[in-house]
Amino acid sequence: MNHPSHHPDRAQLYADMSPHHLTPLWEVLHALVPPQPQTPCVAALWTYADVRPFLMRAGAAITAQEAIRRVLILENPALRGHSAVTQSLYAGLQLILPGEVAPSHRHTQSALRFIVEGSGAYTAVDGERTTMQPGDFIITPSMTWHDHGHEAQDPMVWLDGLDIPMLRFFDAGFAENGSAAMQQIKTPEGTSLARFGHNMAPVRSSSPYGKTSPIFSYPYARTRDALHQLERDAPIDAWDGVKLRYTNPLTGGWAMPTLGTFMQRLPAGFKGQPYRQTDGAVFSVVEGSGIAYIESHHGKAQLKFGPRDHFVVPSWHTLRLSSSAGCVLFSYSDRPVHEALGIHREERLPA
């Protein structure tokens, strides 16, 4: 868009209208409606070898009860101080130590947990517990009571993904602390999976969590088997390798209304083609290693990743993935909101 040429009367016009809280659109139109997305966010990588020592130091410095949630936020380098990994997404790594309880609370923000290290800890959601293992995807639906506890031996770390910046934009954030550290368990573990996780559903039952999946625990063992079978028996996508999205079994839609969640397998020797999309995405490396080649208006980046590393690819950044040994990647993005608003775009580019 062309910027309007200078006129001697304009400076006085702007000065006179400013006390009335008026601004001329023509001076900012080129920034408000750009020819393509111009996110301030940049691509970034957090290697687990760098992050883990700080998590362990935090474990010595503050208890889970004191902190409510002992989390190190993964802040986008371009958004320092905003507690955000993109302008709509939050990411953090949470530590819980043996014998600890992260006390019960609830909030309007939807949350996911993706297990990075350790096993034996649990999440309880509205009276049902699920024991967590590496690679498991766990959902905490909006305004459900939830607490975490650890009854095993080793430290437990998981990725927290939330829509905090999104709800902050809408001024729709509410939270409430529980009256007890641990909620009362009312339902045997595995009940939700039995009811809804086998391509069947109760005859007379509605979704207990509204638009969020009634299954709040998706075990990695089942996901991994599906990825490897498809790698053997189905065509490999030139951009994504083998990529699946988690679904709500009652609707076939997204598992969460604001966060799209995915798991993908890049076969050994995979050299992906580049693509870009309007939804920014956060990746957690489950197994293996590879390289993310990223280009944007900020320049080029080459992120070499390994197990338990995390990286972010913001909106409209061109991404190309490769892996010589093969790898598995979990990711989440704000795609469900883009699709609901009819603004999602993706371009699959030639190599």
CATH of the domain at 126: 2.60.120.10
Q: Give the span between the Cα atoms of 301 and 43, in whole angstroms.
A: 7
pLDDT range class, residue 3, cuts 50, 70, 90: low
The encoded tokens of residue 28 equal 């900012």
Residue 4 clears pLDDT 70, i.e. is over it: no
For residue 337, the surrounding DSSP H or E stretch is helix 335-341
Q: Give the span between the Cα atoms of 160 and 165, in whole angstroms.
A: 14
Across 191-195, 288-292, 294-298, 319-323, least confident range:
191-195
pLDDT range class, residue 8, cuts 50, 70, 90: confident
**Is residue 220 in some structural domain?**
yes
Contact assessment for residue 168 and residue 108, using Cβ atoms and an 8 Å cutoff: no
Residue 242 clears pLDDT 90, i.e. is over it: yes
The encoded tokens of residue 178 equal 């529980």
**Is residue 208 in some structural domain?**
yes
Contact assessment for residue 43 and residue 314, using Cβ atoms and an 8 Å cutoff: yes
Contact assessment for residue 255 and residue 213, using Cβ atoms and an 8 Å cutoff: yes
**8-state DSSP, 72:** E
C-alpha distances in Å from residue 97, one per residue of 69, 92, 177: 12, 16, 21
Partners of 301 in beta bridges: 294
Share of the chain above pLDDT 90, in %: 91
**Is residue 21 in some structural domain?**
no
**Is residue 37 in some structural domain?**
no
Residue 37 clears pLDDT 80, i.e. is over it: yes
Share of the chain above pLDDT 70, in %: 99
Cβ–Cβ contacts within 10 Å for residue 116, how many?
26
Nearest alpha-carbon partner for 144 in 68, 209, 215: 209
The encoded tokens of residue 82 equal 């905003």
Boundaries of domain holding 203: 44-348
**Is residue 10 in some structural domain?**
no
**Is residue 30 in some structural domain?**
no
Condensed to tens digits (0 to 9), the pLDDT of residues 139-180 reads 999 999 999 999 889 999 999 999 999 999 999 999 999 988
Q: Give the span between the Cα atoms of 297 and 247, in whole angstroms.
A: 33
Give the pLDDT of residue 329: 98
Residue 2 clears pLDDT 80, i.e. is over it: no
Widest pairwise Cα distance in the chain: 75
Give the pLDDT of residue 62: 97
- DSSP readout, 242-272? EEEE-B-TTTSSBSSSS-EEEEEEE-TTEEP
Q: How many domains does the chain have?
A: 1
Residue 5 clears pLDDT 90, i.e. is over it: no
Query: What pTM does this model have?
Result: 0.94
**Is residue 33 in some structural domain?**
no
